Chains A and B, each alone.
Chain A
Amino acid sequence: MTAPAIRRQRVGRSVTSRAADSIVRRLISLNGWAAIVILAAIFLFLAVNARRALEEVGFWVMSLGTEWYPTIPTPRFGFLPLLSGSVLVTATALVLCVPVSLAAAIFISEFAGGRVKEVTKSIIEFMAAIPSVVYGLIGIAVVVPWVRATFDTDSGLTALSGAIVLAFMIAPTIVSISEDALHAVPNSLRQGSLALGNTRWETTYKVVVPSASSGILAAVMLGMGRAIGETMAVLMLTGNAAVIPDSLFDSVRTITGTIAAEMGNVVQGGLHQSVLFTLGLVLFSITFLINLVADLVLEKQRRRWQR
Protein backbone atom coordinates (compact mmCIF):
# COMPACT_ATOMS: atom_id res chain seq x y z
CA MET A 1 0.00 0.00 0.00
CA THR A 2 1.66 3.17 -1.20
CA ALA A 3 -1.18 5.49 -0.34
CA PRO A 4 0.11 6.92 2.97
CA ALA A 5 3.44 7.98 1.50
CA ILE A 6 1.74 9.69 -1.39
CA ARG A 7 -0.62 11.47 0.90
CA ARG A 8 2.07 12.91 3.06
CA GLN A 9 3.59 14.50 0.02
CA ARG A 10 0.25 15.96 -0.99
CA VAL A 11 -1.09 17.32 2.24
CA GLY A 12 -0.92 21.07 2.55
CA ARG A 13 -0.83 22.47 -0.94
CA SER A 14 2.10 24.80 -0.89
CA VAL A 15 1.59 28.33 0.32
CA THR A 16 3.17 29.66 -2.86
CA SER A 17 0.65 27.88 -5.02
CA ARG A 18 -2.23 29.47 -3.12
CA ALA A 19 -0.60 32.88 -3.14
CA ALA A 20 0.13 32.62 -6.85
CA ASP A 21 -3.50 31.85 -7.57
CA SER A 22 -4.72 34.89 -5.71
CA ILE A 23 -2.07 37.20 -7.14
CA VAL A 24 -2.94 36.13 -10.67
CA ARG A 25 -6.61 36.65 -9.93
CA ARG A 26 -5.92 40.16 -8.73
CA LEU A 27 -3.67 41.02 -11.67
CA ILE A 28 -6.25 39.82 -14.14
CA SER A 29 -9.10 41.60 -12.38
CA LEU A 30 -7.06 44.78 -12.57
CA ASN A 31 -6.89 44.50 -16.36
CA GLY A 32 -10.64 43.96 -16.42
CA TRP A 33 -10.95 47.59 -15.47
CA ALA A 34 -8.82 48.81 -18.37
CA ALA A 35 -11.76 49.88 -20.49
CA ILE A 36 -13.29 52.01 -17.77
CA VAL A 37 -9.95 53.53 -16.86
CA ILE A 38 -9.13 54.44 -20.46
CA LEU A 39 -12.56 55.90 -21.16
CA ALA A 40 -12.29 58.00 -18.03
CA ALA A 41 -8.74 59.01 -18.92
CA ILE A 42 -9.80 60.10 -22.40
CA PHE A 43 -12.46 62.33 -20.92
CA LEU A 44 -10.11 63.67 -18.29
CA PHE A 45 -7.27 64.51 -20.66
CA LEU A 46 -9.55 66.14 -23.20
CA ALA A 47 -11.13 68.18 -20.42
CA VAL A 48 -7.82 69.25 -18.87
CA ASN A 49 -6.50 70.41 -22.23
CA ALA A 50 -9.78 72.10 -23.09
CA ARG A 51 -9.78 74.10 -19.87
CA ARG A 52 -7.95 77.10 -21.20
CA ALA A 53 -10.37 77.52 -24.10
CA LEU A 54 -13.38 77.03 -21.86
CA GLU A 55 -12.09 79.72 -19.51
CA GLU A 56 -10.84 82.23 -22.06
CA VAL A 57 -13.40 81.85 -24.82
CA GLY A 58 -16.30 80.17 -23.07
CA PHE A 59 -18.30 77.10 -23.99
CA TRP A 60 -21.36 78.90 -25.32
CA VAL A 61 -19.37 81.42 -27.32
CA MET A 62 -17.67 78.53 -29.08
CA SER A 63 -20.76 76.36 -29.42
CA LEU A 64 -22.96 79.10 -30.81
CA GLY A 65 -20.33 80.98 -32.79
CA THR A 66 -20.91 81.05 -36.52
CA GLU A 67 -17.40 81.90 -37.62
CA TRP A 68 -14.29 79.77 -37.56
CA TYR A 69 -11.17 81.89 -38.12
CA PRO A 70 -8.64 80.37 -35.79
CA THR A 71 -5.46 82.01 -37.10
CA ILE A 72 -6.31 85.68 -37.63
CA PRO A 73 -5.01 88.19 -35.04
CA THR A 74 -8.31 88.24 -33.17
CA PRO A 75 -9.35 84.65 -33.79
CA ARG A 76 -12.96 83.48 -33.91
CA PHE A 77 -13.65 80.03 -32.60
CA GLY A 78 -17.25 79.34 -33.59
CA PHE A 79 -18.15 75.65 -33.78
CA LEU A 80 -21.36 75.98 -35.77
CA PRO A 81 -19.75 75.80 -39.23
CA LEU A 82 -17.91 72.63 -38.25
CA LEU A 83 -20.89 71.12 -36.42
CA SER A 84 -23.18 71.80 -39.36
CA GLY A 85 -20.59 70.31 -41.70
CA SER A 86 -20.45 67.11 -39.63
CA VAL A 87 -24.23 66.92 -39.33
CA LEU A 88 -24.80 67.51 -43.05
CA VAL A 89 -22.29 64.90 -44.18
CA THR A 90 -23.43 62.34 -41.60
CA ALA A 91 -27.13 62.81 -42.28
CA THR A 92 -26.64 62.53 -46.02
CA ALA A 93 -24.53 59.43 -45.62
CA LEU A 94 -27.23 57.84 -43.47
CA VAL A 95 -29.97 58.70 -45.97
CA LEU A 96 -27.94 57.08 -48.74
CA CYS A 97 -26.82 54.11 -46.71
CA VAL A 98 -29.63 53.02 -44.40
CA PRO A 99 -32.28 51.84 -46.91
CA VAL A 100 -29.82 49.83 -48.96
CA SER A 101 -28.07 48.39 -45.90
CA LEU A 102 -31.30 47.33 -44.23
CA ALA A 103 -32.56 45.72 -47.42
CA ALA A 104 -29.27 43.86 -47.74
CA ALA A 105 -29.45 42.76 -44.10
CA ILE A 106 -32.98 41.46 -44.61
CA PHE A 107 -31.88 39.56 -47.69
CA ILE A 108 -28.89 38.02 -45.93
CA SER A 109 -30.84 37.05 -42.81
CA GLU A 110 -34.18 35.99 -44.30
CA PHE A 111 -33.77 34.97 -47.92
CA ALA A 112 -30.17 34.01 -48.65
CA GLY A 113 -29.14 30.37 -48.45
CA GLY A 114 -26.10 29.01 -46.63
CA ARG A 115 -23.36 29.55 -49.18
CA VAL A 116 -24.56 32.93 -50.52
CA LYS A 117 -24.97 34.11 -46.95
CA GLU A 118 -21.45 33.14 -45.96
CA VAL A 119 -19.79 34.66 -49.02
CA THR A 120 -21.81 37.88 -48.76
CA LYS A 121 -21.01 38.30 -45.12
CA SER A 122 -17.30 37.78 -45.55
CA ILE A 123 -17.14 40.19 -48.50
CA ILE A 124 -18.91 42.83 -46.42
CA GLU A 125 -16.49 42.09 -43.60
CA PHE A 126 -13.64 42.74 -46.01
CA MET A 127 -15.19 46.11 -46.78
CA ALA A 128 -15.01 47.02 -43.11
CA ALA A 129 -11.32 46.18 -43.02
CA ILE A 130 -10.26 48.69 -45.70
CA PRO A 131 -8.45 51.61 -44.06
CA SER A 132 -10.30 54.90 -44.19
CA VAL A 133 -7.43 56.66 -45.92
CA VAL A 134 -7.87 54.23 -48.82
CA TYR A 135 -11.58 55.08 -48.96
CA GLY A 136 -10.54 58.70 -49.15
CA LEU A 137 -8.14 57.93 -51.96
CA ILE A 138 -10.76 56.07 -53.98
CA GLY A 139 -13.15 58.95 -53.32
CA ILE A 140 -10.62 61.36 -54.83
CA ALA A 141 -10.10 59.13 -57.84
CA VAL A 142 -13.68 58.09 -58.52
CA VAL A 143 -16.35 59.99 -56.59
CA VAL A 144 -14.95 63.52 -56.79
CA PRO A 145 -14.65 63.57 -60.61
CA TRP A 146 -18.12 62.05 -60.88
CA VAL A 147 -19.66 64.69 -58.62
CA ARG A 148 -17.82 67.44 -60.50
CA ALA A 149 -19.07 66.22 -63.86
CA THR A 150 -22.62 65.32 -62.84
CA PHE A 151 -23.50 68.27 -60.65
CA ASP A 152 -21.28 70.80 -62.36
CA THR A 153 -19.45 72.01 -59.26
CA ASP A 154 -16.07 73.70 -59.28
CA SER A 155 -13.86 71.17 -57.58
CA GLY A 156 -16.07 68.22 -56.75
CA LEU A 157 -14.81 68.43 -53.17
CA THR A 158 -18.26 68.76 -51.58
CA ALA A 159 -20.34 67.54 -48.68
CA LEU A 160 -21.97 65.14 -51.11
CA SER A 161 -18.66 63.53 -52.13
CA GLY A 162 -17.78 62.93 -48.50
CA ALA A 163 -21.25 61.59 -47.75
CA ILE A 164 -21.20 59.13 -50.65
CA VAL A 165 -17.91 57.61 -49.58
CA LEU A 166 -18.98 57.65 -45.93
CA ALA A 167 -22.15 55.76 -46.88
CA PHE A 168 -20.03 52.89 -48.19
CA MET A 169 -17.79 53.01 -45.14
CA ILE A 170 -20.59 52.64 -42.61
CA ALA A 171 -22.60 50.12 -44.65
CA PRO A 172 -20.75 47.10 -43.18
CA THR A 173 -21.52 48.26 -39.62
CA ILE A 174 -25.21 48.75 -40.30
CA VAL A 175 -25.58 45.57 -42.36
CA SER A 176 -23.84 43.28 -39.90
CA ILE A 177 -25.42 44.63 -36.71
CA SER A 178 -28.94 44.70 -38.12
CA GLU A 179 -28.38 41.27 -39.63
CA ASP A 180 -27.44 40.07 -36.15
CA ALA A 181 -30.64 41.60 -34.79
CA LEU A 182 -32.78 39.90 -37.44
CA HIS A 183 -30.95 36.63 -36.96
CA ALA A 184 -31.60 36.74 -33.22
CA VAL A 185 -35.38 36.64 -33.72
CA PRO A 186 -36.37 33.11 -32.71
CA ASN A 187 -37.44 30.80 -35.50
CA SER A 188 -40.59 29.88 -33.62
CA LEU A 189 -41.95 33.35 -34.39
CA ARG A 190 -41.29 32.89 -38.10
CA GLN A 191 -42.85 29.45 -38.12
CA GLY A 192 -45.88 30.75 -36.26
CA SER A 193 -46.43 33.37 -38.90
CA LEU A 194 -45.79 31.02 -41.81
CA ALA A 195 -48.23 28.54 -40.33
CA LEU A 196 -50.90 31.24 -40.43
CA GLY A 197 -50.56 31.35 -44.19
CA ASN A 198 -48.20 34.30 -44.52
CA THR A 199 -45.49 34.32 -47.16
CA ARG A 200 -41.88 34.71 -46.13
CA TRP A 201 -41.93 38.37 -47.02
CA GLU A 202 -45.15 38.98 -45.07
CA THR A 203 -43.57 37.19 -42.16
CA THR A 204 -40.48 39.34 -42.52
CA TYR A 205 -42.16 42.71 -42.45
CA LYS A 206 -45.03 41.83 -40.13
CA VAL A 207 -43.13 39.78 -37.57
CA VAL A 208 -39.37 39.63 -37.95
CA VAL A 209 -38.51 43.27 -38.66
CA PRO A 210 -40.78 44.66 -35.91
CA SER A 211 -39.32 42.15 -33.46
CA ALA A 212 -35.80 43.21 -34.40
CA SER A 213 -36.62 46.92 -34.62
CA SER A 214 -34.67 47.96 -31.55
CA GLY A 215 -31.56 46.16 -32.78
CA ILE A 216 -31.93 47.76 -36.19
CA LEU A 217 -32.26 51.15 -34.55
CA ALA A 218 -29.07 50.46 -32.62
CA ALA A 219 -27.33 49.46 -35.86
CA VAL A 220 -28.26 52.77 -37.45
CA MET A 221 -27.10 54.67 -34.38
CA LEU A 222 -23.76 52.89 -34.32
CA GLY A 223 -23.40 53.65 -38.02
CA MET A 224 -24.15 57.26 -37.25
CA GLY A 225 -21.56 57.35 -34.47
CA ARG A 226 -19.00 55.91 -36.84
CA ALA A 227 -19.89 58.47 -39.52
CA ILE A 228 -19.58 61.46 -37.20
CA GLY A 229 -16.23 60.22 -35.95
CA GLU A 230 -14.76 59.31 -39.32
CA THR A 231 -11.80 61.52 -40.09
CA MET A 232 -9.51 60.77 -43.01
CA ALA A 233 -12.04 60.21 -45.77
CA VAL A 234 -14.00 63.37 -45.02
CA LEU A 235 -10.82 65.35 -44.60
CA MET A 236 -9.72 64.28 -48.07
CA LEU A 237 -13.09 64.74 -49.79
CA THR A 238 -15.21 67.56 -48.40
CA GLY A 239 -13.03 70.51 -49.44
CA ASN A 240 -12.64 71.83 -45.89
CA ALA A 241 -14.28 75.24 -46.17
CA ALA A 242 -15.21 76.22 -42.64
CA VAL A 243 -18.48 77.97 -43.41
CA ILE A 244 -22.05 77.00 -42.67
CA PRO A 245 -23.13 75.21 -45.87
CA ASP A 246 -26.18 76.11 -47.95
CA SER A 247 -26.39 72.91 -49.89
CA LEU A 248 -24.89 69.49 -50.40
CA PHE A 249 -22.76 70.89 -53.19
CA ASP A 250 -20.92 73.25 -50.89
CA SER A 251 -17.53 72.48 -49.58
CA VAL A 252 -17.72 71.78 -45.84
CA ARG A 253 -15.39 71.10 -42.97
CA THR A 254 -16.25 68.65 -40.26
CA ILE A 255 -15.26 68.56 -36.59
CA THR A 256 -12.92 65.64 -37.19
CA GLY A 257 -11.42 67.19 -40.30
CA THR A 258 -10.70 70.40 -38.43
CA ILE A 259 -8.89 68.64 -35.61
CA ALA A 260 -6.85 66.54 -38.03
CA ALA A 261 -5.93 69.43 -40.29
CA GLU A 262 -5.10 72.04 -37.67
CA MET A 263 -3.61 70.20 -34.71
CA GLY A 264 -0.33 69.79 -36.53
CA ASN A 265 0.13 73.54 -36.95
CA VAL A 266 -0.68 74.90 -33.51
CA VAL A 267 1.52 76.24 -30.77
CA GLN A 268 1.76 73.72 -27.99
CA GLY A 269 -0.17 74.95 -24.96
CA GLY A 270 -1.70 77.75 -27.02
CA LEU A 271 -5.32 78.80 -27.16
CA HIS A 272 -5.94 77.31 -30.60
CA GLN A 273 -4.72 73.92 -29.39
CA SER A 274 -6.99 74.13 -26.39
CA VAL A 275 -9.94 74.98 -28.64
CA LEU A 276 -9.20 71.92 -30.75
CA PHE A 277 -9.23 69.80 -27.59
CA THR A 278 -12.61 71.32 -26.75
CA LEU A 279 -13.77 70.28 -30.19
CA GLY A 280 -12.51 66.78 -29.40
CA LEU A 281 -14.40 66.85 -26.12
CA VAL A 282 -17.60 67.80 -27.95
CA LEU A 283 -17.06 65.01 -30.47
CA PHE A 284 -16.28 62.48 -27.74
CA SER A 285 -19.42 63.46 -25.81
CA ILE A 286 -21.63 63.14 -28.88
CA THR A 287 -20.33 59.71 -29.87
CA PHE A 288 -20.26 58.55 -26.25
CA LEU A 289 -23.96 59.28 -25.87
CA ILE A 290 -24.90 57.75 -29.22
CA ASN A 291 -22.94 54.60 -28.48
CA LEU A 292 -24.23 54.34 -24.93
CA VAL A 293 -27.86 54.51 -26.03
CA ALA A 294 -27.23 52.05 -28.86
CA ASP A 295 -25.48 49.60 -26.53
CA LEU A 296 -28.26 49.81 -23.95
CA VAL A 297 -30.80 49.11 -26.68
CA LEU A 298 -28.80 46.13 -27.92
CA GLU A 299 -28.39 44.79 -24.40
CA LYS A 300 -32.10 45.02 -23.76
CA GLN A 301 -32.81 43.19 -26.97
CA ARG A 302 -30.37 40.43 -26.12
CA ARG A 303 -32.06 39.87 -22.77
CA ARG A 304 -35.44 39.76 -24.41
CA TRP A 305 -34.60 36.74 -26.52
CA GLN A 306 -32.64 35.04 -23.80
CA ARG A 307 -35.74 34.30 -21.80
Chain B
Amino acid sequence: MTESREQNVTGVFELENVSVTYGSEVAIAGVSMHIPPRAVTALIGPSGCGKSTLLRCLNRMNDEIGSAKVRGRITLDGADIYAKEMDPVELRTRVGQVFQKPNPFPMTIYDNVAYGPRTQGTRRRSELDEVVERSLKRAALWGEVKKDLKKHAFELSGGQQQRLCIARALATQPEVVLMDEPASSLDPISTQQVEDTIAELKEYVTIVIVTHNMQQAARISDLTAFMLRESMEEPAQLVEVGETRVMFTNPGDKRTEAYITGRFG
Protein backbone atom coordinates (compact mmCIF):
# COMPACT_ATOMS: atom_id res chain seq x y z
CA MET B 1 0.00 0.00 0.00
CA THR B 2 1.60 3.26 -1.07
CA GLU B 3 1.22 6.69 0.41
CA SER B 4 -0.27 8.11 -2.77
CA ARG B 5 -3.18 5.70 -2.69
CA GLU B 6 -3.97 6.67 0.86
CA GLN B 7 -4.29 10.33 0.10
CA ASN B 8 -7.83 10.16 -1.18
CA VAL B 9 -8.94 7.65 1.31
CA THR B 10 -10.07 8.44 4.86
CA GLY B 11 -9.89 6.36 7.99
CA VAL B 12 -6.18 6.33 8.73
CA PHE B 13 -5.09 6.05 12.35
CA GLU B 14 -1.64 7.01 13.51
CA LEU B 15 -0.67 6.09 17.08
CA GLU B 16 2.41 7.65 18.62
CA ASN B 17 3.69 6.46 21.95
CA VAL B 18 0.20 5.85 23.36
CA SER B 19 -0.17 4.83 26.98
CA VAL B 20 -3.25 4.33 29.13
CA THR B 21 -3.41 4.58 32.89
CA TYR B 22 -6.18 3.71 35.32
CA GLY B 23 -5.54 5.76 38.42
CA SER B 24 -1.97 4.86 39.34
CA GLU B 25 -1.91 1.66 37.29
CA VAL B 26 -0.34 1.79 33.83
CA ALA B 27 -2.34 -0.54 31.59
CA ILE B 28 -0.67 0.08 28.23
CA ALA B 29 2.62 1.79 27.55
CA GLY B 30 4.34 3.15 24.48
CA VAL B 31 2.23 1.84 21.60
CA SER B 32 3.08 3.32 18.22
CA MET B 33 1.51 1.99 15.05
CA HIS B 34 -0.04 2.89 11.74
CA ILE B 35 -3.52 1.65 10.91
CA PRO B 36 -4.03 1.70 7.14
CA PRO B 37 -7.36 2.56 5.51
CA ARG B 38 -9.69 0.09 3.80
CA ALA B 39 -7.99 -2.85 5.46
CA VAL B 40 -8.52 -5.14 8.43
CA THR B 41 -6.08 -4.70 11.29
CA ALA B 42 -6.21 -7.37 13.96
CA LEU B 43 -5.09 -6.83 17.56
CA ILE B 44 -4.12 -10.16 19.07
CA GLY B 45 -2.63 -11.27 22.36
CA PRO B 46 -3.47 -13.16 25.52
CA SER B 47 -6.47 -12.02 27.55
CA GLY B 48 -5.78 -9.04 29.77
CA CYS B 49 -3.10 -7.68 27.45
CA GLY B 50 -4.90 -4.42 26.83
CA LYS B 51 -6.25 -5.07 23.32
CA SER B 52 -9.74 -3.87 24.15
CA THR B 53 -8.41 -0.92 26.11
CA LEU B 54 -6.34 0.17 23.13
CA LEU B 55 -9.34 -0.29 20.86
CA ARG B 56 -11.49 1.94 23.06
CA CYS B 57 -8.87 4.68 22.80
CA LEU B 58 -9.65 4.98 19.12
CA ASN B 59 -13.24 6.19 19.60
CA ARG B 60 -12.64 7.62 23.06
CA MET B 61 -15.02 5.21 24.70
CA ASN B 62 -12.48 5.10 27.53
CA ASP B 63 -13.73 8.59 28.36
CA GLU B 64 -16.99 7.02 29.49
CA ILE B 65 -15.36 4.44 31.72
CA GLY B 66 -14.23 5.93 34.98
CA SER B 67 -10.66 6.90 35.56
CA ALA B 68 -8.88 5.97 32.32
CA LYS B 69 -6.31 8.48 31.13
CA VAL B 70 -4.75 8.38 27.67
CA ARG B 71 -1.33 9.86 26.91
CA GLY B 72 0.56 10.11 23.66
CA ARG B 73 -0.92 11.09 20.32
CA ILE B 74 -3.60 9.46 18.25
CA THR B 75 -4.57 11.01 14.95
CA LEU B 76 -7.39 10.13 12.62
CA ASP B 77 -6.74 11.40 9.10
CA GLY B 78 -4.16 13.71 10.56
CA ALA B 79 -6.31 15.27 13.29
CA ASP B 80 -5.47 14.62 16.92
CA ILE B 81 -8.56 12.93 18.35
CA TYR B 82 -7.65 13.90 21.90
CA ALA B 83 -7.26 17.53 21.00
CA LYS B 84 -9.39 20.03 22.84
CA GLU B 85 -11.52 20.98 19.87
CA MET B 86 -12.30 17.35 19.05
CA ASP B 87 -15.77 16.43 20.26
CA PRO B 88 -15.85 12.77 21.33
CA VAL B 89 -19.52 12.53 20.43
CA GLU B 90 -18.80 13.63 16.88
CA LEU B 91 -15.71 11.44 16.69
CA ARG B 92 -17.86 8.41 17.39
CA THR B 93 -20.01 9.08 14.35
CA ARG B 94 -16.82 8.63 12.35
CA VAL B 95 -15.47 5.69 14.31
CA GLY B 96 -18.13 3.06 14.96
CA GLN B 97 -17.90 0.10 17.28
CA VAL B 98 -19.24 -3.44 17.40
CA PHE B 99 -19.17 -5.13 20.77
CA GLN B 100 -18.31 -8.55 22.09
CA LYS B 101 -21.87 -9.61 22.75
CA PRO B 102 -24.58 -8.64 20.28
CA ASN B 103 -26.31 -5.66 21.91
CA PRO B 104 -29.20 -4.54 19.73
CA PHE B 105 -31.49 -1.92 21.26
CA PRO B 106 -34.88 -3.17 22.44
CA MET B 107 -36.65 -1.84 19.32
CA THR B 108 -37.41 -2.96 15.80
CA ILE B 109 -34.72 -3.92 13.32
CA TYR B 110 -35.41 -0.77 11.34
CA ASP B 111 -35.19 1.51 14.36
CA ASN B 112 -31.93 -0.10 15.42
CA VAL B 113 -30.25 0.68 12.11
CA ALA B 114 -31.87 4.10 11.85
CA TYR B 115 -30.74 5.05 15.35
CA GLY B 116 -27.42 6.57 14.29
CA PRO B 117 -28.74 8.61 11.34
CA ARG B 118 -31.65 9.86 13.45
CA THR B 119 -29.20 10.89 16.14
CA GLN B 120 -27.48 12.99 13.50
CA GLY B 121 -30.74 14.63 12.61
CA THR B 122 -31.88 12.69 9.56
CA ARG B 123 -35.68 12.72 9.64
CA ARG B 124 -36.74 12.16 6.01
CA ARG B 125 -38.29 8.75 5.66
CA SER B 126 -36.92 8.09 2.18
CA GLU B 127 -33.41 8.95 3.29
CA LEU B 128 -33.67 6.69 6.31
CA ASP B 129 -35.10 3.84 4.22
CA GLU B 130 -32.15 4.14 1.92
CA VAL B 131 -29.55 4.13 4.71
CA VAL B 132 -31.21 1.20 6.44
CA GLU B 133 -31.28 -0.85 3.27
CA ARG B 134 -27.70 -0.03 2.31
CA SER B 135 -26.36 -0.74 5.79
CA LEU B 136 -28.20 -4.02 6.11
CA LYS B 137 -26.96 -5.05 2.68
CA ARG B 138 -23.38 -4.27 3.57
CA ALA B 139 -23.75 -6.23 6.80
CA ALA B 140 -25.10 -9.14 4.70
CA LEU B 141 -28.36 -9.23 6.63
CA TRP B 142 -30.72 -7.60 4.12
CA GLY B 143 -31.80 -10.81 2.45
CA GLU B 144 -32.84 -12.37 5.74
CA VAL B 145 -34.75 -9.44 7.22
CA LYS B 146 -36.00 -7.27 4.37
CA LYS B 147 -39.54 -8.61 4.80
CA ASP B 148 -39.77 -7.94 8.49
CA LEU B 149 -37.94 -4.76 9.29
CA LYS B 150 -40.65 -4.03 11.85
CA LYS B 151 -39.80 -7.15 13.80
CA HIS B 152 -38.30 -6.70 17.26
CA ALA B 153 -34.54 -7.06 17.11
CA PHE B 154 -34.56 -9.57 19.96
CA GLU B 155 -36.35 -12.08 17.76
CA LEU B 156 -33.24 -12.49 15.62
CA SER B 157 -30.68 -15.22 16.27
CA GLY B 158 -27.37 -14.36 17.94
CA GLY B 159 -25.47 -14.24 14.66
CA GLN B 160 -28.16 -12.13 12.99
CA GLN B 161 -28.18 -9.78 15.98
CA GLN B 162 -24.44 -9.29 15.65
CA ARG B 163 -24.76 -8.51 11.95
CA LEU B 164 -27.56 -6.11 12.86
CA CYS B 165 -25.14 -4.39 15.22
CA ILE B 166 -22.64 -4.16 12.37
CA ALA B 167 -25.32 -2.64 10.14
CA ARG B 168 -26.21 -0.22 12.93
CA ALA B 169 -22.58 0.86 13.17
CA LEU B 170 -22.36 1.25 9.38
CA ALA B 171 -25.46 3.42 9.20
CA THR B 172 -23.65 6.50 10.49
CA GLN B 173 -21.30 6.07 7.51
CA PRO B 174 -18.18 5.82 9.63
CA GLU B 175 -14.68 5.78 8.25
CA VAL B 176 -13.58 3.18 10.77
CA VAL B 177 -15.37 0.36 12.54
CA LEU B 178 -13.86 -1.06 15.72
CA MET B 179 -14.77 -4.63 16.58
CA ASP B 180 -14.16 -6.10 20.01
CA GLU B 181 -14.14 -9.89 19.64
CA PRO B 182 -17.32 -9.66 17.61
CA ALA B 183 -17.66 -13.40 17.11
CA SER B 184 -16.63 -14.68 20.53
CA SER B 185 -20.18 -15.32 21.70
CA LEU B 186 -21.37 -16.89 18.45
CA ASP B 187 -21.58 -20.45 17.17
CA PRO B 188 -19.27 -21.56 14.32
CA ILE B 189 -21.77 -20.93 11.51
CA SER B 190 -22.65 -17.45 12.71
CA THR B 191 -18.96 -16.75 13.20
CA GLN B 192 -18.35 -17.73 9.59
CA GLN B 193 -21.09 -15.33 8.43
CA VAL B 194 -19.74 -12.46 10.48
CA GLU B 195 -16.23 -13.10 9.19
CA ASP B 196 -17.50 -13.10 5.60
CA THR B 197 -19.24 -9.81 6.31
CA ILE B 198 -16.03 -8.30 7.67
CA ALA B 199 -14.11 -9.39 4.60
CA GLU B 200 -16.57 -7.57 2.36
CA LEU B 201 -16.72 -4.49 4.53
CA LYS B 202 -13.14 -3.44 4.11
CA GLU B 203 -14.15 -2.17 0.72
CA TYR B 204 -15.92 0.70 2.49
CA VAL B 205 -14.29 1.15 5.88
CA THR B 206 -11.18 0.66 7.91
CA ILE B 207 -11.63 -2.17 10.36
CA VAL B 208 -9.75 -2.71 13.61
CA ILE B 209 -10.65 -5.99 15.22
CA VAL B 210 -9.67 -7.42 18.59
CA THR B 211 -9.57 -11.17 18.69
CA HIS B 212 -8.01 -13.88 20.80
CA ASN B 213 -8.67 -16.38 18.03
CA MET B 214 -5.47 -16.78 16.05
CA GLN B 215 -7.09 -18.56 13.12
CA GLN B 216 -9.61 -15.79 12.85
CA ALA B 217 -6.87 -13.18 12.74
CA ALA B 218 -5.05 -15.20 10.10
CA ARG B 219 -8.21 -15.63 8.03
CA ILE B 220 -9.55 -12.10 7.94
CA SER B 221 -6.85 -9.56 8.67
CA ASP B 222 -4.35 -7.81 6.44
CA LEU B 223 -2.30 -6.47 9.30
CA THR B 224 -1.72 -8.00 12.70
CA ALA B 225 -0.52 -6.34 15.88
CA PHE B 226 0.59 -8.55 18.74
CA MET B 227 0.26 -7.18 22.25
CA LEU B 228 1.61 -8.71 25.41
CA ARG B 229 1.69 -8.01 29.09
CA GLU B 230 4.63 -9.96 30.39
CA SER B 231 3.69 -9.75 34.06
CA MET B 232 0.97 -8.17 36.14
CA GLU B 233 3.42 -5.54 37.39
CA GLU B 234 4.31 -4.33 33.92
CA PRO B 235 2.13 -2.48 31.46
CA ALA B 236 1.09 -4.16 28.23
CA GLN B 237 3.18 -3.39 25.20
CA LEU B 238 3.03 -3.78 21.47
CA VAL B 239 5.45 -6.57 20.64
CA GLU B 240 5.27 -6.31 16.89
CA VAL B 241 3.02 -5.29 14.06
CA GLY B 242 3.20 -6.38 10.48
CA GLU B 243 1.47 -7.95 7.53
CA THR B 244 -0.55 -10.89 8.72
CA ARG B 245 0.85 -13.24 6.09
CA VAL B 246 4.38 -12.52 7.14
CA MET B 247 3.69 -12.55 10.82
CA PHE B 248 2.02 -15.92 10.84
CA THR B 249 4.64 -17.62 8.70
CA ASN B 250 7.74 -15.83 9.85
CA PRO B 251 7.27 -13.86 13.08
CA GLY B 252 10.01 -11.42 13.95
CA ASP B 253 9.86 -11.85 17.69
CA LYS B 254 10.30 -15.02 19.74
CA ARG B 255 7.31 -14.13 21.91
CA THR B 256 5.07 -13.71 18.91
CA GLU B 257 6.14 -17.08 17.64
CA ALA B 258 5.53 -18.68 21.02
CA TYR B 259 2.05 -17.16 21.16
CA ILE B 260 0.86 -18.00 17.67
CA THR B 261 2.15 -21.52 17.88
CA GLY B 262 0.09 -21.89 21.02
CA ARG B 263 2.78 -22.17 23.63
CA PHE B 264 1.02 -19.74 25.95
CA GLY B 265 -2.03 -17.54 26.21
Residues in chain A within 8 A of chain B (CB atoms): 1-3, 6-7, 10-13, 18
Contacts and interface: CB of A to CB of B under 8 A. Distances in A.
B89 A3 contact: no
B111 interface: no
A10 B90 contact: yes
A2 B175 CA distance: 12
Contacts of A11: 90
15 contacts: A1-B8, A3-B10, A3-B175, A6-B173, A7-B10, A10-B90, A10-B93, A10-B94, A10-B120, A12-B87, A12-B90, A13-B87, A13-B89, A13-B90, A18-B87
Nearest to A2: B173
Contacts of A12: 87, 90
A10 B10 CA distance: 15
A107 B8 CA distance: 72
A11 B85 CA distance: 11
Interface in B150-182: 173, 175
9 shortest interchain CB distances as A-B pairs = A13-B90, A6-B173, A13-B87, A13-B89, A10-B93, A3-B10, A10-B120, A10-B90, A3-B173
B119 to A, nearest CB: 10
A260 B93 CA distance: 60
Interface string B10-48: 100000000000000000000000000000000000000
Contacts of B87: 12-13, 18
Contacts of A13: 87, 89-90
A11 B87 CA distance: 10
Give the interface SS of chain B, mostly helix, strand, loop or mixed: loop
Given A6-B173, A10-B94, 14 more contacts: A1-B8, A3-B10, A3-B173, A3-B175, A7-B10, A7-B94, A10-B90, A10-B120, A11-B90, A12-B90, A13-B87, A13-B89, A18-B87, A18-B89
A79 to B, nearest CB: 51
Interface in B70-94: 87, 89-90, 93-94
A140 B10 CA distance: 81
Contacts of B93: 10
Contacts of B120: 10
Nearest to B205: A3
Contacts of B89: 13, 18
A7 to B, nearest CB: 8
Contacts of A7: 10, 94
Contacts of A6: 173
B131 to A, nearest CB: 11
Contacts of B90: 10-13
Nearest to B120: A10
A1 B8 CA distance: 10
Nearest to A3: B10
A7 B79 CA distance: 14
A1 B173 CA distance: 12
A12 B90 CA distance: 7
B247 to A, nearest CB: 30
Nearest to A21: B89
Contacts of A10: 90, 93-94, 120
Nearest to B77: A7
A12 B120 CA distance: 11
A162 to B, nearest CB: 49
Nearest to B10: A3
Contacts of A2: 173
A12 B89 CA distance: 10
A11 B10 CA distance: 14
Nearest to B93: A10
A7 B175 CA distance: 10
A8 to B, nearest CB: 12
B214 to A, nearest CB: 33
A17 to B, nearest CB: 8
- Most chain B CB within 10 A, of A6, A11, A13, is at A13
Interface string B110-146: 0000000000100000000000000000000000000
Contacts of A3: 10, 173, 175
A4 to B, nearest CB: 8
B97 to A, nearest CB: 17
Contacts of B10: 3, 7
B127 to A, nearest CB: 12
A273 to B, nearest CB: 52
Interface string B192-233: 000000000000000000000000000000000000000000
B77 to A, nearest CB: 10
